[in-house]
Structure 1
Amino acid sequence: MKSLPFSLVAFFLPAVVISGYELVQDYSGISFFDQWDFYGSWDNLTLGDVWWLNRDDAFKQQLAYINSAGNAVMKVDNTNTVVFNEKRASIRITSQQAYGVGSLWVADMVHIPFGCSVWPAFWTKGPTWPDNGEIDIMEAINLMQSNQMALHTLPGCFQSTPANQMGTSGELDCSQPSGCLVTETAPNSFGQGFAAAGGGVFAAQFDVAGIWFWSRPNIPQSILQSTSTSSLDVSDWGAPSASYPVSGCDITKFFTAQNLILDITLCGIWAGLPAQYLPACGGSGPTGICYNDNVVGSGSRYDDAYFEVKYVRAYTTPGSGPTPTAVAANAASFTPMTSSSSAGPTLSQGGALHVHCLMIALMISLTMMFAMLFL
């Protein structure tokens, strides 16, 4: 059998247009809240001094609504007086759909809650914590100026030294209380700076690997040009803020399908800890105690404690193999697309992996076809 020159195969390869990710769900506009569940409980997770309202009370008390710009607003009560030993009303919502490995989430936010005692987060979790994993896409407290990103897992998952990451790594063991932590280095990722810049976009690839942030002036064209129905090409995104190479953690082993969560709590086991609270906020009241000097009394100090979200979009990878689909929020398992290995790609390469596989398959098929012609 004669061999066919590679140059001839390459010549006959058709042009392949890769969109990257296909849209699964768009949360935006008047229907933004339709496919989210409201928690309706006190904060029994991080022991914050809030009561997360149920759906009816959230809308009735105007702590969740769509504003005149068509954006979703979720806020801490800033109008009522709270007496000692009572909690302040707030919001926590969880997507009714859970998304498997191979998913991509993009959130455009105009405003993120901030201020002394304030602890907001945009994150994901599986049915059982921490057994099924947690991804912190946006999380910070009090008067911090930078976002923090992390994975939380059972023992055995680590952030190996990333070669392609813009943020600064801290703890590398994802089973530690902080998770495997990365601090954002780009400006205006939280607090007053985020608001003054007009907000920005957060994105996370769940195949395992990267979390991105862009302040409003730096959002990639691929995202600016995307719509509520279009696919998304991630080739212009550049290096992620946080990278979690598969050499340190097999994502399919430590994570199941994830629900998306937006919440705001107050004080609690992070924002309210004296070591975290006192340096920045110790002078905000007479006692130096987070709850006493913030939650109790007038709500006027929480005027900046709100999310304003243009949209949250969930995407999945196209191409060969099982396509990850949205599954019921209480699902306990999922079928992963692939198993990671120490020689596998980093998260930031996830979109390119499918392109490479497709090209290889085409090359093999065409090689065989032309080889038969030249027998």
Structure 2
Amino acid sequence: MRFLLLSLLSLLLPTVSPYDIVDDFSGLTFFDNWDFYGNYDNLTLGDVIWVDEADAFTQELALVNSAGNVIIKVDNFSNVPFNQKRNSVRITTKSTYSLGSLWIIDAVHLPYGCSVWPSIWTVGPSWPDGGEIDIIEGVNLMLNNQYALHTTPGCVHTTPPNQKGSSSLVDCSQPSGCLVGETVPNSYQSGFAAAGGGVWAVQFDYTGIFIWFWSRPNVPASITQATATSSIPSLADWGAPSASYVNTTCAIDQFFAPQNMVIDITLCGEYAGIPEQYLATCANTGPTGICYNDNVPGPGNNYDEAYFELRYVRAYTTSAPAATGGVAALGKPSASGGTKSIRFEWPPLLVVLSGMILGMTM
């Protein structure tokens, strides 16, 4: 039966690939199309200075290692005086990406440690009006990654049956956003690196925002076989997402503008540094129990694990209906470097067939 359905679907679908490459960030050219923040953390009240591009390269806080992977890190070599901040990096893509986009992040190491707050996320031009998608985020010695949306009031997350992650807070307009905790093992901290890292994928679509995570041994073939110039031919081998923010309770095209991607590491601040978060995993790691006092000043060797090591970040745009069924986004490159999406409705038969096939593969 499954073979018959696949055969019928192959005859009815367009022959073009679902997602075509827009941007590949990797290797020596990784940083070419990112802006460095070049200021202290005046956004999340962290105890860092996000250095400019020149200082990031000079201080080797942004570099490409001998394996060809990108390193983005906190200063772990300077002796920082008390009441001073430690250097780190925050970068933002020059391009924006509209509905109909797909992002894939391949990492082999994530920053962690007491006071450490790393994030890979996307944001609209006028936060919170344009929305925010948190893809990779953890604090201190948390064991698992977590996802969140941040929006203006009116966007609510209800857990669909095919979501792997564990939903907690559901109102996306609250300070914490609407949270989904990762339940797949080795999504953060030392376990992530020990497993060889892993891959995240985010589908930014009219039908919803869907986030997948695979530890290295489980990355699907459609991703492992992709190159810096090839398309993603299908999402059929991806299985159920870790986080599914469907548009039935949050109209994605109303709450989300075209997004820039951001990668940053801050220290302490209004999340990692608040007592209920910091003390939960780091209460006994320093003499004072205060995030800044016990970590930021001094020689910095406690930040030896506070770095991203990324194989690549890739952005794609749709050139055929998305595999989620129903209303998809048909994307074309926009002048801003991302995509400009229009609405595309699958014929009812295609919706039924694709839904049956997806049900068999999950």
Task: Tell me, yes or no, if the aligned pair for 2:199 and 2:219 is still in contact at 8 Å.
Answer: yes
Query: 1: CA distance between counterparts of 2:37 and 2:56?
Result: 10
Task: Tell me, yes or no, if the aligned pair for 1:101 and 1:324 is still in contact at 8 Å.
Answer: no
How has the CA–CA distance of structure 1 residues 280 and 14 changed in structure 2, closer, same or farther, with 3 Å as cutoff?
closer
Question: SS state of the match for residue 96, structure 2?
Answer: strand
- How much does 1:325 deviate? 2.5
The question of 1:256 aligning with 2:252 is answered no
Query: 1: CA distance between counterparts of 2:187 and 2:334?
Result: 29
Question: SS state of the match for residue 315, structure 1?
Answer: strand
The question of 1:128 aligning with 2:136 is answered no
What residue in structure 1 maps to residue 276 of structure 2?
Answer: 275
Residue in structure 2 matching 1:325, options 327, 333, 350: 333
Larger Rg: 1
Query: Which AA in structure 2 matches 1:313?
Result: R
Cα shift readout 1:90-134 (whole Å, capped 9, x = no counterpart): 011100000000100000001000000000001000111111000
Cα shift readout 1:217-262 (whole Å, capped 9, x = no counterpart): 1100110000001100211000000001110111110010000111
The question of 1:206 aligning with 2:213 is answered no
Aligned residues: 334
What residue in structure 2 maps to residue 366 of structure 1?
Answer: none
- How much does 1:84 deviate? 1.1
Question: SS state of the match for residue 105, structure 2?
Answer: strand
Question: SS state of the match for residue 201, structure 1?
Answer: strand
Cα shift readout 1:21-49 (whole Å, capped 9, x = no counterpart): 11111001110000000000111111000
What residue in structure 2 maps to residue 25 of structure 1?
Answer: 23
How has the CA–CA distance of structure 1 residues 266 and 206 changed in structure 2, closer, same or farther, with 3 Å as cutoff?
same
Question: SS state of the match for residue 57, structure 1?
Answer: helix
Question: SS state of the match for residue 222, structure 2?
Answer: helix
The question of 1:170 aligning with 2:168 is answered yes
Query: 2: CA distance between counterparts of 1:155 and 1:312?
Result: 31
Query: 2: CA distance between counterparts of 1:200 and 1:52?
Result: 26
Task: Tell me, yes or no, if the aligned pair for 1:99 and 1:324 is still in contact at 8 Å.
Answer: no
Equivalences for residues 44-123 of structure 1 within 5 A? 44-123=42-121
- How much does 1:327 deviate? 4.6
- How much does 1:357 deviate? 4.2
Cα shift readout 1:153-196 (whole Å, capped 9, x = no counterpart): 00000112312100000111100111111000000000000011
Question: SS state of the match for residue 295, structure 2?
Answer: helix
Task: Tell me, yes or no, if the aligned pair for 1:103 and 1:206 is still in contact at 8 Å.
Answer: yes
How has the CA–CA distance of structure 1 residues 40 and 281 changed in structure 2, closer, same or farther, with 3 Å as cutoff?
same
Query: 2: CA distance between counterparts of 1:128 and 1:159?
Result: 22
Task: Tell me, yes or no, if the aligned pair for 2:166 and 2:182 is still in contact at 8 Å.
Answer: yes
What residue in structure 2 maps to residue 4 of structure 1?
Answer: none
What residue in structure 2 maps to residue 299 of structure 1?
Answer: 300
Residue in structure 2 matching 1:145, options 137, 143, 146: 143
What residue in structure 2 maps to residue 222 of structure 1?
Answer: 222
Query: 1: CA distance between counterparts of 2:36 and 2:242?
Result: 30
Query: 2: CA distance between counterparts of 1:12 and 1:108?
Result: 30
Cα shift readout 1:272-292 (whole Å, capped 9, x = no counterpart): 011110121122211110000
Query: Which AA in structure 1 matches 2:336?
Result: A
Query: 2: CA distance between counterparts of 1:12 and 1:264?
Result: 44
Query: Which AA in structure 1 matches 2:333?
Result: T
Query: Which AA in structure 2 matches 1:228?
Result: A
The question of 1:337 aligning with 2:342 is answered yes
How has the CA–CA distance of structure 1 residues 253 and 73 changed in structure 2, closer, same or farther, with 3 Å as cutoff?
same
What residue in structure 2 maps to residue 347 of structure 1?
Answer: none
Question: SS state of the match for residue 201, structure 2?
Answer: strand
Query: 1: CA distance between counterparts of 2:102 and 2:265?
Result: 23
Query: Which AA in structure 2 matches 1:19?
Result: S
Question: SS state of the match for residue 99, structure 1?
Answer: coil
How has the CA–CA distance of structure 1 residues 176 and 67 changed in structure 2, closer, same or farther, with 3 Å as cutoff?
same
The question of 1:34 aligning with 2:11 is answered no
Query: Which AA in structure 1 matches 2:214?
Result: W
Which ranges of structure 2 fall in alignment gaps of 5 or more residues? 1-7, 322-328, 352-362
Query: 2: CA distance between counterparts of 1:110 and 1:11?
Result: 36
The question of 1:160 aligning with 2:158 is answered yes
Query: 2: CA distance between counterparts of 1:86 and 1:176?
Result: 31
- How much does 1:12 deviate? 12
- How much does 1:265 deviate? 0.3
Q: Which stretch shifts more, 297-306 or 154-163?
A: 154-163
- How much does 1:298 deviate? 1.3
Question: SS state of the match for residue 231, structure 2?
Answer: coil
Cα shift readout 1:281-326 (whole Å, capped 9, x = no counterpart): 1222111100000001111000000000000000011038752435
Question: SS state of the match for residue 151, structure 1?
Answer: strand
Question: SS state of the match for residue 271, structure 2?
Answer: helix
Question: SS state of the match for residue 288, structure 1?
Answer: coil
Query: 2: CA distance between counterparts of 1:115 and 1:23?
Result: 34
Give the structure with the higher percent strand. 2
Aligned-residue RMSD, C-alpha: 2.2
Query: Which AA in structure 2 matches 1:50?
Result: V
